[in-house]
Structure 1
Amino acid sequence: MTISFENLQGDLAEILDVKVTEVTADTELTGSEHWDSFAMLSAVALVTQYTEKQVTLGDLSHLATINDFISLLKKLKES
C-alpha cells in the first residue's frame, strides 16, 4: 500500500482517538493530549505494518506533526 496521508488518515485518527475529520497533515502531535504513550505504541505498530521496520518510542517522540510521521514512514520504506 502506498504511504500517503489519505491512506493513513483513518489509522491515525484511530491511534489518536479522534474523528477522521479532525486529522490533517498539519495536526500537532507534540504537546497533544492524544499523543500519549499508548498512541505512540500504536504508531510503532503502524510503522512496522507499513514498512516492515522497527522504530522505538524515542524515534517517534521528536515528531511534531502528522506530516512528520508520514515523512518518517516514507523514509523507512525507501531504506
Structure 2
Amino acid sequence: VRVASTVGAGDSLVAGMVHGLLLAEAPAQTLTRATAIAAQAVTQIGFGIHDREHLAQLEAAVQLTEQQEGCR
C-alpha cells in the first residue's frame, strides 16, 4: 500500500483483533481482518474505515503462513 501516515497503525491492528475476539471469529479471520485494517490505516490521514470495498480488497490480499515450531 502507499503509506500516508503510520500514526495509529498499531492501534488499528489491536482494535481489529479485539473486534474479532469479541465476535468469536476464527483466529485466522481475526488476524487477517486486523492486518487489513492496519494496512488501510496507513493509507490515510486520520482515522476510521471510510472505504469498506478497499478494506475487503486488502483483506483478500492478506496471506497468512504458519510458522514451523523452532523457527524464529
Larger-gyration structure (1/2) = 2
TM-score, structure 1 length as denominator?
Answer: 0.32
Which structure has the highest helix share of the two?
1
TM-score, structure 2 length as denominator?
Answer: 0.34
